[in-house]
Amino acid sequence: MTKRLVVLVLVFALSAAGLSAVSPRAAAQDAIECYGSEGSEVSVLSVWAGEEENTFKAVLAPVLEACEITLNHEGTRDLNTVLDSRVQGNQPPDIASMPNPGALTVYADKLVSLDELNVHAENYVQGWKDLGSVDGVWVGLPIKTDIKSLVWYSPLAFEAAGYTVPTTWDEMIALMDQMVADGDVPPLSMGFESGGATGWTATDFVQDILIRTAGVEATNGLVDGTTAWDDPAVVAGWELYASWVENYGGGADAAITTSFGDAILLPFQDPPAAWMVKQSGFAGSAFVAPNFPDYIYGEDFAFFVLPSADGAAVPMQVGGDFIGAFNNTPAVQAILGYLSSAAGAAAWAASGFDLTPNSAVTPDAYGDNPISADKAAALGAAPDVTFDVGDLLPAGLGQAEFDGITAVVGGSTTAADALADIQARMTEALGM
């Protein structure tokens, strides 16, 4: 059997597994290019082990088989230590996954520009390319993402209470005011206890508030110092969040002492212990579905995107993984070319390995996973993306952000003072 026929058979097999509903661009990107890699090896270091490793290998199977590439994959939860040791020993893997784009800066001078690796740049919105770039050079391919700007609720509970999903910021406020007026059930479940990382869900929420009140440019500017942390607009965003905890979220004690996992479940109890919870995309499949196995997505639980002032789409807050290449070999080119193609995106979508940032795939490619399909549609409707600010800050400042918002909510400091402290640390960290 010729390699061309092998490729076509593999693509047909993927389609039969549920990958047929990809965008029209897939037709031009379904033939796997090997770039002379036939019979070679490639080493990959990632955080994916166990079932995640098996899923990752399944996604890569078409290109590995078509090009007869031998994959040497190592999955480790201690990726930073292992990768640093390999790089320092001048034995880096060909490809490595990075848990966030901030990690790319550590190895930027050793990573190969993606422009040299035959990736399909046309399949990524500019925001993703910017996040994977260091000093203007695109070195990190976004490979896996979850979205954060979501509000989870029960459609059946809303219908029974006469509530409708808000489409603008003012409608969101009016809905929460109505919920307060109607009874003792708080509009929002805002618990954010998480051990040493207590406060991370609060900072995610604040970031979405800032995107809608101060704008995405000002919000992104918190990472590189172009926006001061004690800017009045940032102070106002933190104060607004703290007021929502008090007025709509059951108060500071409940927020600080209720674990984020327990908080996710409150709107789905019978009767509801809260009406809504603002949480990332993982909430539905990782928390609601396992704890309420009889619930039907779209009826008993669903989500909407936190609305903007006028209801227009705004950039989606995301987290995610990137992959970078330390070597420019034909096998690396084949794998990154495949992963960034429409066919590679479709394989990722069908695998259930969270969302792909690759825009050359439609929600239908997520097959029988309606939660992922709806999340993909929400991501696709956003004009751009903005990464979780805390994951991009210099070492230690992410924790300072967690501690700061917890102290503000708890009333031991003001938003102005907490943010002034973070700004002072930021100034020192950046040498400003």
| Residue 30 maps to a domain | no
Q: Is the pTM of this model over 0.75?
A: yes
Task: Let me know whether 158 and 256 are in one domain.
Answer: yes
Task: Let me know whether 161 and 278 are in one domain.
Answer: yes
End-to-end CA separation in angstroms for the chain:
62
**Is the separation of the CB atoms in 35 and 64 below 8 Å?**
no
Identify the domain containing residue 410 by its residue range. 150-316+389-430
In percent, how much of the chain has pLDDT > 90?
Answer: 87
Task: Let me know whether 39 and 50 are in one domain.
Answer: yes
Any idea which of 9-18, 248-257, 287-296 has the lowest mean pLDDT? 9-18
DSSP string across 235-260: HHHHHHHHHHHHHHSS-HHHHHHSBH
Cis peptide bond upstream of 271, omega within 30: yes
| Residue 16 maps to a domain | no
Q: Is the predicted pLDDT of residue 247 greater than 70, yes or no?
A: yes
| Segment 74-87, tens digit of pLDDT | 999 899 899 999 99
315-343: average pLDDT: 96
268-280: average pLDDT: 97
Residue 27's pLDDT is: 39
Task: Let me know whether 398 and 250 are in one domain.
Answer: yes
Residue 30's pLDDT is: 60
Task: Let me know whether 352 and 292 are in one domain.
Answer: no
Confidence of residue 394 (pLDDT cuts 50, 70, 90): confident
Instruction: Number of helices (H) and strands (E) in the chain: give both, helices first.
Output: 20, 11
Q: Is the predicted pLDDT of residue 90 greater than 60, yes or no?
A: yes
155-166: average pLDDT: 98
Q: Is the predicted pLDDT of residue 370 greater than 70, yes or no?
A: yes
Task: Let me know whether 141 and 222 are in one domain.
Answer: no
Higher pLDDT, 245 or 22: 245
| Residue 23 maps to a domain | no
Task: Let me know whether 355 and 396 are in one domain.
Answer: no
- E-assigned strand segments in 252-383: 276-278, 302-305, 316-325
**CA pair distance 279, 291, nearest whole angstrom:** 16
Task: Let me know whether 238 and 326 are in one domain.
Answer: no
CATH value at residue 406 = 3.40.190.10
30-58: average pLDDT: 93
In percent, how much of the chain has pLDDT > 70?
Answer: 93
| Segment 193-229, tens digit of pLDDT | 999 999 999 999 999 999 999 999 999 999 999 999 9
152-168: average pLDDT: 98
The amino acid that residue 405 corresponds to is I
Confidence of residue 369 (pLDDT cuts 50, 70, 90): very high
Residue 5's pLDDT is: 32
Task: Let me know whether 194 and 250 are in one domain.
Answer: yes
Task: Let me know whether 233 and 158 are in one domain.
Answer: yes
Confidence of residue 20 (pLDDT cuts 50, 70, 90): very low
**CA pair distance 365, 22, nearest whole angstrom:** 6
Confidence of residue 101 (pLDDT cuts 50, 70, 90): confident
What is the β-pairing status of strands 41-46 and 95-98?
parallel
Task: Let me know whether 334 and 203 are in one domain.
Answer: no
**CA pair distance 111, 374, nearest whole angstrom:** 34
| Residue 26 maps to a domain | no
Q: Is the predicted pLDDT of residue 23 greater than 70, yes or no?
A: no
| Residue 28 maps to a domain | no
Q: Is the predicted pLDDT of residue 14 greater than 80, yes or no?
A: no
Residue 19's pLDDT is: 35
The DSSP element (H or E) to which 82 belongs, if any, is: helix 79-88
**Structural domain total, the chain:** 2
**Is the separation of the CB atoms in 390 and 136 below 8 Å?**
no
| Residue 13 maps to a domain | no
**Is the separation of the CB atoms in 74 and 314 below 8 Å?**
no
Confidence of residue 182 (pLDDT cuts 50, 70, 90): very high
247-264: average pLDDT: 97
Residue 102's pLDDT is: 80
Nearest alpha-carbon partner for 206 in 57, 424, 421, 404: 404
Task: Let me know whether 268 and 405 are in one domain.
Answer: yes
Confidence of residue 31 (pLDDT cuts 50, 70, 90): confident
| Residue 24 maps to a domain | no
**CA pair distance 185, 189, nearest whole angstrom:** 10
Higher pLDDT, 11 or 54: 54
Work out the burial of residue 189: count CB atoms within 10 Å of its CB; fewer than 13 is exposed, 13-18 middle, 19 or more buried: buried
